[in-house]
Structure 1
Amino acid sequence: MQETKILWADDEIDLLKPHILLLNDKGYNVTTFTNGNDALEAFGKEHFDLVFLDENMPGLTGIETLSAMKNLNPDIPVVLITKSEEENLMEDAIGSKIDDYLIKPVNPKQVLLTIKKFVDNKRLVSAKTSMAYQQDFRRLGMILNDKLSYSEWIDFYKKIVFWELELGQLDDPQMHEILTMQKQEANTQFSKFIEDNYIDWIKNKDKSPLLSNELLKKKAFPLINETTPVFFILIDNLRYDQWKMINPLITEYFRLEEEDMYTSILPTATQYARNSIFAGLMPLEMEKRFPSLWQNDDDEGGKNLHEEAFLADNIKRNLRKECKFSYHKILTFDQGKDLLEQANNLLKNDFNAIVFNFVDMLSHARTDMQMIRELANDDAAYRSLTLSWFEHSPLFELLKKISQQKVKVIITTDHGTIRVKKPVKVVGDKSTNTNLRYKQGRNLNFNAKEVFAIKNPQDAMLPKINISSSYIFAKEDSYFVYPNNYNQFVNYYNDTFQHGGISLEEMIIPVITYSSK
């Protein structure tokens, strides 16, 4: 364990020698000073884990020393030791960002408790968290050996994310590695589960979990009434762990009514999953109902240009009553600001559908831009970047604004994303689509063990562009590469965030309902 270094400044430091000796015996390295100037000079040159400052020192006072230290390094905890709790003194100390205070005369037990609070607490929490995960690791491993139902898979995934967030706060590479291995094993088993069940879900709705095409019908439309506006906010590409990061900010303004999960259809790609949400239909049904609007992979132009028309048709089919609704797609910060200015008008609607594309753009930017790749170099950093965006986004401002009225808010997404690690070779003709996690085309050549293949697209309610068209989906953390430019693909796409295939992160995604407080 790394030695804990403590700085203690007091003009009567000789009287504190018994305390200092006790701390040295306990393994703490205490450096002492009799005045604020010397203490401040040492603080600027060396690293200390904790500082004790006497409030009443000649020359530079304790408050002045505290303020100067916080300007140099605000992260080091500083404890003021004072003879008085006068209000103005405490206000000065708090204004200078004091971390705690002790009243003279201090006793050794008080000092030790303070050290444990600020220094040892992190180590103790780390040890306890690591031990708790090690115990749960064995239990989770045993669960993976069972044949899990869909609801059990949701519980398992939530538990994995819980430990990801808990261990993410610790500097324990060994625990991170163990969790990563367990998550990989979980995705291997989950991929088999999807291969065994997905087609049955599509053919038999009674066996199916909640899928993209039923999301609005089951989760949003029942909330629509004449008195409470409903805001359906879809953050493209938002995983469950990313939602867990932004939820504490949302619940400062809203009451969380229901935390639920649903399953993205395959492919877990925007043009399929998001169109399916707004249309309330599977892709094959969309192609038949909207032959002039539906875009297949090989068609020119944007693939998500008609969501408003799909939504209008969905409302008409399923609500069977008048519904004043709006649809907005936010691609830029300025568009978000414009929407914020329309907040009062939105409150006059029964239903408002809003798509925010930031997280999707972030994942693509991480692939294309070296700077973003370095900022989001792993899942924890990716979560942190999402939180930072949300905290300063027009979306958060909009939520704060509408929270002052009686509203219902649904936060959801169309699919998640996974960091890909394993290249899988596939060969296709020129008409094969470019997505790295699914391929659709004729004469696809692949290793059957490495993919989930759907030879008859109609079984999965997917369009069949050509008579011999089929679909293949990447499993776990794999991604498709072409043999003729294998190294180029691997160098560019390995360790990037992708979607379109089968994984817990892409398919099991949040749908969260909030109400005004």
Structure 2
Amino acid sequence: MAKTHILWADDEIEFLKPHILLLEGKGYKVKTVNNGADAVEAFKNEPFDLVFLDENMPGMTGLETLSILKSINPTIPNVLVTKNEEEHLMEEAIGAKIDDYLIKPVNPKQILLTIKKFTENKRIVTEKTSMAYQQEFRNLSMLINDGLDYNGWVEAYKKLIYWELSLEKLEDDSMHEILQAQKSEANNVFFKYIEKNYLKWIKNPEDAPILSHQLFRKKVLPSLSEERPTFFFLIDNLRYDQWKLINDIITDYFRLEEESSYYSILPTATQYARNAIFSGLTPLEMEKRFPDLWQNDEDEGGKNLHEDTFLADQLKRLYRKEIRHSYTKVLTHEQGRDVLDNLSNLMNNNLNVLVYNFVDMLSHARTDMAMIRELANDEAAYRSLTLSWFEHSPLLDALRWLAQKNVRLIITTDHGTIRVKKPSKIVGYKSTNTNLRYKQGKNLNYNSKDVFVIKNPHDAQLPLLHMSSIFVFAKDDLYFVYPNNYNQFVNYFNGTFQHGGISLEEMIIPYATYIPKS
């Protein structure tokens, strides 16, 4: 293994000789210079892993030298060594993108810790994280198989996501592969839990988690305030792991007031789950209350075209006072800019609902476009694309604007997605719906081990299309495939992100509230 090569610039370098000898004794290679110009010259001609810069050198200062070194190779860490603890100097150093600083006199332990931090960080983090997960693996397995209730499953899922996000940063894939197998095990046990309890939840909502159609009544409306408007952002198809990434950015501007979860109804599909959120009704109740607006799977046309009407009706039913509110759906970048331009007007409302469809479009684009399939070829890449969109979206611009106002912010979604990997054969009539994770129809022929069957849709508060219609929901990472054109279908859809079925990713939904820091 090559020695770590360090450049150390200090006009009093002779006084640091004991430190230099210690480092060389530890196996480090150290190049010393006594001014900024020589530091720049050495940096140009030799490869270094780390640079120590004295701030107060004759000629070029440490910060001036830093600026030149960063222009040559910005990836090499630079550590400023200074006697000056004044705030303005620290701010200048941070602005110049210094990686760290040490206050003189420095001791050998400080130097060694700093070197390890920048040159051995990946190795140390990999070893410690892998070891920690190995120790936690048994505890997680016991937890998953310990007869969890719906709150327990939320906590178990969050722990799995914590380890997934931690392990994916490591260069060693072996632990991550074990984690993926453990997630699959969890989803299989979770499927059995849902199979056993879902219809009970629908029948006895007092003994159930908050479901899609109860979200406004139980979570949103009680938090409304006359003093500050509430902005409810629903990012379609946003999983808990994706929320974790964008939350790191949101909390630069907002304080996280509450992090909780609710459960999506079945099917975990937009036309059911999102309509249920905004109507405050189950799909069966929607069909009865809005016979001209509710769209079943067999009906032509868009399935989420009347959310504003559903929302207005729910607010009128559930809230005694008149709620000044708005509903906006954002499908394009231009519509996002329009929202930004209109935020000052929305401040006059008690409640503003904004639906952003990008993540949903991303999951479908991954199915439809070869380029997106390459860019989002696994879970980590899918998360990365979501984060990249958010960082450059008008939505983030809107949040920055709102962070300067007296508002309450809610971020949530309607359902998640799962990356499907295993085909499950199913046979049905031509009228059977096209969703890959659930099927609704009559005379369906399927593998009973792969599905949760609801033989009487009304038991799940779902509309009944035909007297013999049933619903079947795929478990874990399965997806439905028709026997004809089987291979072509598998080649096209395997590894894509789908929703509609039963998995932790699709059903356990992030719900977060924030208030501005300023």
TM-score, normalised to structure 2, is 0.91
Residue 388 of structure 2: aligned partner? 388
Aligned-pair CA distance for 1:471: 1.2
Aligned-pair CA distance for 1:365: 1.6
Match of 2:120, SS state, is helix
Residue 322 of structure 2: aligned partner? 322
Match of 2:485, SS state, is helix
Match of 1:74, SS state, is coil
Match for 1:511: what amino acid? Y
Aligned-pair CA distance for 1:236: 0.5
Residue 502 of structure 2: aligned partner? 502
Residue 200 of structure 2: aligned partner? 200
Match for 2:238: what amino acid? L
Cα deviation code 1:326-372 (max 9, x no counterpart): 11111111111111211122111122111111111111122222332
CA distance in 2, matches of 1:378, 1:216: 33
CA distance in 2, matches of 1:80, 1:408: 41
Aligned-pair CA distance for 1:108: 4.1
Aligned-pair CA distance for 1:474: 1.2
CA distance in 1, matches of 2:398, 2:226: 22
Aligned-pair CA distance for 1:234: 0.8
Match of 1:182, SS state, is helix
Residue 74 of structure 1: aligned partner? 74
CA distance in 1, matches of 2:59, 2:196: 77
Aligned-pair CA distance for 1:246: 1.6
Which stretch shows the higher mean deviation, 216-225 or 92-101? 92-101
Flag the 1:144–1:346 CA change in 2: closer, same or farther, 3 A.
same
Which stretch shows the higher mean deviation, 11-20 or 318-327? 11-20
Which stretch shows the higher mean deviation, 165-174 or 119-128? 119-128
CA distance in 2, matches of 1:42, 1:498: 54
Match for 2:260: what amino acid? D
Residue 257 of structure 1: aligned partner? 257
Flag the 1:38–1:158 CA change in 2: closer, same or farther, 3 A.
same
Match for 1:384: what amino acid? S
Aligned-pair CA distance for 1:229: 1.9
CA distance in 2, matches of 1:120, 1:111: 13
Match for 1:141: what amino acid? S
Aligned-pair CA distance for 1:397: 2.1
CA distance in 2, matches of 1:354, 1:127: 43
Residue 229 of structure 2: aligned partner? 229
Flag the 1:89–1:219 CA change in 2: closer, same or farther, 3 A.
closer
Match for 1:127: what amino acid? E
Aligned-pair CA distance for 1:171: 2.4
CA distance in 2, matches of 1:40, 1:494: 52
Which stretch shows the higher mean deviation, 97-106 or 288-297? 97-106
Aligned-pair CA distance for 1:73: 2.5
Cα deviation code 1:401-437 (max 9, x no counterpart): 2333332222111001111111111122211111111
Flag the 1:368–1:4 CA change in 2: closer, same or farther, 3 A.
farther
Residue 288 of structure 1: aligned partner? 288
Flag the 1:206–1:91 CA change in 2: closer, same or farther, 3 A.
closer
CA distance in 2, matches of 1:89, 1:208: 57
Residue 117 of structure 1: aligned partner? 117
Aligned-pair CA distance for 1:241: 1.3
Match of 2:295, SS state, is coil
Match of 2:305, SS state, is coil
Aligned-pair CA distance for 1:80: 4.3
Residue 492 of structure 1: aligned partner? 492
Match of 1:220, SS state, is helix
Flag the 1:87–1:438 CA change in 2: closer, same or farther, 3 A.
closer
Match for 1:50: what amino acid? L
Flag the 1:483–1:14 CA change in 2: closer, same or farther, 3 A.
farther
CA distance in 2, matches of 1:86, 1:351: 46
Match of 1:476, SS state, is coil
Flag the 1:338–1:446 CA change in 2: closer, same or farther, 3 A.
same
Match of 1:342, SS state, is helix
Flag the 1:45–1:418 CA change in 2: closer, same or farther, 3 A.
farther
Which stretch shows the higher mean deviation, 352-361 or 45-54? 45-54
Aligned-pair CA distance for 1:282: 0.9
CA distance in 1, matches of 2:480, 2:42: 56
Match for 1:279: what amino acid? S
Residue 25 of structure 1: aligned partner? 25
Match of 1:281, SS state, is coil
Cα deviation code 1:381-408 (max 9, x no counterpart): 2222222222222222222323333322
Aligned-pair CA distance for 1:499: 0.7
Flag the 1:109–1:462 CA change in 2: closer, same or farther, 3 A.
closer
Aligned-pair CA distance for 1:230: 2.1
Flag the 1:107–1:449 CA change in 2: closer, same or farther, 3 A.
closer
Aligned-pair CA distance for 1:95: 5.3
Residue 414 of structure 1: aligned partner? 414
Residue 241 of structure 1: aligned partner? 241
Which stretch shows the higher mean deviation, 466-475 or 296-305? 466-475
The alignment status of 1:401 with 2:401, answered yes or no, reads yes
Flag the 1:130–1:301 CA change in 2: closer, same or farther, 3 A.
same
The alignment status of 1:174 with 2:174, answered yes or no, reads yes
CA distance in 2, matches of 1:170, 1:74: 23
CA distance in 1, matches of 2:255, 2:477: 35
Aligned-pair CA distance for 1:147: 1.1
CA distance in 2, matches of 1:478, 1:384: 24
Query: Identity of counterpart residues, as a percentage?
Result: 69
Match of 1:484, SS state, is coil
In the TM superposition, what are the counterparts of 1:83-102 in structure 2 within 5 Å?
96-101=96-101
Residue 209 of structure 1: aligned partner? 209
Residue 218 of structure 2: aligned partner? 218
Residue 472 of structure 1: aligned partner? 472
Flag the 1:38–1:515 CA change in 2: closer, same or farther, 3 A.
closer
Match of 2:233, SS state, is strand
Q: What is the aligned-residue RMSD (CA, Å)? A: 2.8
Match for 1:397: what amino acid? D
- Structure 1 residue ranges without an equivalent (≥5): none
TM-score, normalised to structure 1, is 0.91
Flag the 1:255–1:53 CA change in 2: closer, same or farther, 3 A.
closer
Aligned-pair CA distance for 1:216: 0.7
CA distance in 1, matches of 2:312, 2:82: 68
Match for 1:339: what amino acid? V
Match for 2:152: what amino acid? E
Aligned-pair CA distance for 1:76: 1.4
CA distance in 2, matches of 1:207, 1:415: 21
Flag the 1:471–1:83 CA change in 2: closer, same or farther, 3 A.
closer
Match of 1:215, SS state, is helix
CA distance in 1, matches of 2:8, 2:289: 76
CA distance in 2, matches of 1:84, 1:311: 60
Residue 359 of structure 1: aligned partner? 359
Residue 161 of structure 2: aligned partner? 161
Which stretch shows the higher mean deviation, 449-458 or 88-97? 88-97
Residue 140 of structure 1: aligned partner? 140
How many equivalent pairs are there? 517
Flag the 1:309–1:124 CA change in 2: closer, same or farther, 3 A.
same
The alignment status of 1:462 with 2:481, answered yes or no, reads no
Cα deviation code 1:441-485 (max 9, x no counterpart): 222111100111212211111112122211111111111122221
Aligned-pair CA distance for 1:196: 0.8
CA distance in 2, matches of 1:472, 1:502: 10
